[in-house]
Amino acid sequence: MPRWIERRGFTLCPSAREGHYVRLSLMERVGLVGGLFNVREARARQTEEDEAPQLLSAGRGLSWRWLREPEAQRLLDERLGTLQAMGYTVLGSEMGTRGRWDWLYDLVHRRLAEPQAQGDRSRSPTDALRDALSTLGLSPQDVLEGLASVLGISVSGLQDPDATTVHKADPDQIAVLLPFLIHHERPEIRSVGERWFACPRVLYQLPPDTLARWLESDAELDRALAPRLEHEGPALLGPQRLLRLSKTGQPRARAAAQRWASRLG
């Protein structure tokens, strides 16, 4: 499952330096597709000033749903203000502990906003992921280890996906992962992409419109998807998208869609 890491945190103590201590944290969901936040509040109790606080709660999310960063920042500020009004004092603020591959998350997601700011809408999250990794000179094994860590699955699960692995991965992350793998310059990584495309449940995790868009615009994805389209076209896309692809798809997808269109009458 996707991991959460602390991006900003405050430790607050009661005015008497005993009672409940509070840890208030801005938490970010780590994955290939990120930008989801929540605010976590954890508590510990100290009965005497010279005692170490005893954990009472590992933390609860203050929002019942995922938030965008500005919303989460507002929630953090509001809760911080409430606690301070109750007499709590901020002991300090610091970034949370970071894992080995959190830099990969940052490289991808801090750069995702750049195309919008520059007015370039042709770049995608997959482009950002490719660009983030291409300049680092990582070995194929390092690339796979990093991707597996960000996806929250094992390296072996990434290399040989099955139904359990697919269930763990977020569909939005899969939509970024597949084009990256299939377009990679290293055959070891492209072969992993081929195995993802061959895994029966993978494509059914994705919106049919995403598959249709790939089959209209991307020759490599057309090559990778064509065998599945030949056998599962209506289930994957539905008759209307197949009819459209029979006219607008890449060569292999167009041929498969034309055959389906003739059968469906």
pLDDT per position as a tens digit, 103-158? 676 655 554 444 444 445 456 777 777 776 776 677 889 889 888 877 778 899 99
Q: What is the pLDDT of residue 97?
A: 58
Alpha carbons 99 and 91: distance in angstroms, whole number: 24
CA atoms lying within 13 Å on the CB side of residue 10 = 17
* C-alpha 174, offset from chain centre: 8
Indicate if the pLDDT at residue 94 is higher than 70: no
Alpha carbons 62 and 59: distance in angstroms, whole number: 9
- Of the listed ranges 23-27, 104-108, 226-230, the least confidently predicted one is 104-108
CA distances from 15 to 85, 86, 149, 152, 263 (A): 11, 9, 41, 40, 76
Of 148 and 211, more confident: 211
Q: Which domain holds residue 119?
A: 102-264
Residue finishing a domain among 52, 75, 94: 94
Query: Based on the domain organization, do 113 and 183 belong to the same domain?
Result: yes
CA distances from 110 to 35, 44, 106, 107, 148 (A): 10, 34, 5, 6, 19
Residue finishing a domain among 94, 117, 150: 94
Q: How many domains does the chain have?
A: 2
Q: What is the pLDDT of residue 51?
A: 65
- Check if the beta carbon of residue 59 is closer than 8 Å to that of residue 23: yes
What is the mean predicted confidence (pLDDT) over 4-12? Answer: 83
In eight-state DSSP terms, residue 137 is T
pLDDT per position as a tens digit, 155-185? 999 999 998 888 878 788 888 889 999 999 8
Average pLDDT, the chain: 82
Residue 39 has φ and ψ, to the nearest 5°, of: -115, 125
Query: Based on the domain organization, do 130 and 212 belong to the same domain?
Result: yes
User: Nearest-CA neighbor of 262 among 237, 222, 233, 235?
Assistant: 233
Query: Based on the domain organization, do 142 and 61 belong to the same domain?
Result: no
Query: Based on the domain organization, do 249 and 152 belong to the same domain?
Result: yes
Alpha carbons 31 and 35: distance in angstroms, whole number: 9
Alpha carbons 42 and 30: distance in angstroms, whole number: 20
Alpha carbons 188 and 139: distance in angstroms, whole number: 10
Residue 56 has φ and ψ, to the nearest 5°, of: -105, -35
Place of tokens 């509040």: 41
Q: Which two tokens stand for residue 230?
A: 């030949």
Q: What is the pLDDT of residue 264?
A: 83
Query: Based on the domain organization, do 73 and 127 belong to the same domain?
Result: no
CA distances from 11 to 14, 15, 95 (A): 10, 13, 12
Residue 165 burial class via C-beta count within 10 angstroms: exposed 0-12, middle 13-18, buried 19 and up: buried
Query: Based on the domain organization, do 88 and 129 belong to the same domain?
Result: no
pLDDT-based confidence at residue 92 (cuts at 50, 70, 90) = low
Beta carbons within 8 Å of 241's beta carbon, 6+ residues apart: 208, 209, 212
What is the mean predicted confidence (pLDDT) over 235-243? Answer: 94
Query: Based on the domain organization, do 173 and 211 belong to the same domain?
Result: yes
Q: What is the pLDDT of residue 217?
A: 93
Query: Based on the domain organization, do 84 and 116 belong to the same domain?
Result: no
pTM over 0.85: no
Query: Based on the domain organization, do 163 and 257 belong to the same domain?
Result: yes
Query: Based on the domain organization, do 35 and 106 belong to the same domain?
Result: no
pLDDT-based confidence at residue 194 (cuts at 50, 70, 90) = very high
Query: Based on the domain organization, do 166 and 73 belong to the same domain?
Result: no
- Check if the beta carbon of residue 126 is closer than 8 Å to that of residue 115: no
Query: Based on the domain organization, do 137 and 49 belong to the same domain?
Result: no
Q: What is the pLDDT of residue 212?
A: 96
CA distances from 116 to 65, 113, 124, 173, 211 (A): 25, 6, 10, 20, 24
Residue finishing a domain among 67, 94, 121: 94
pLDDT-based confidence at residue 255 (cuts at 50, 70, 90) = very high
Percent residues over pLDDT 70 in the chain: 79
Alpha carbons 39 and 75: distance in angstroms, whole number: 7
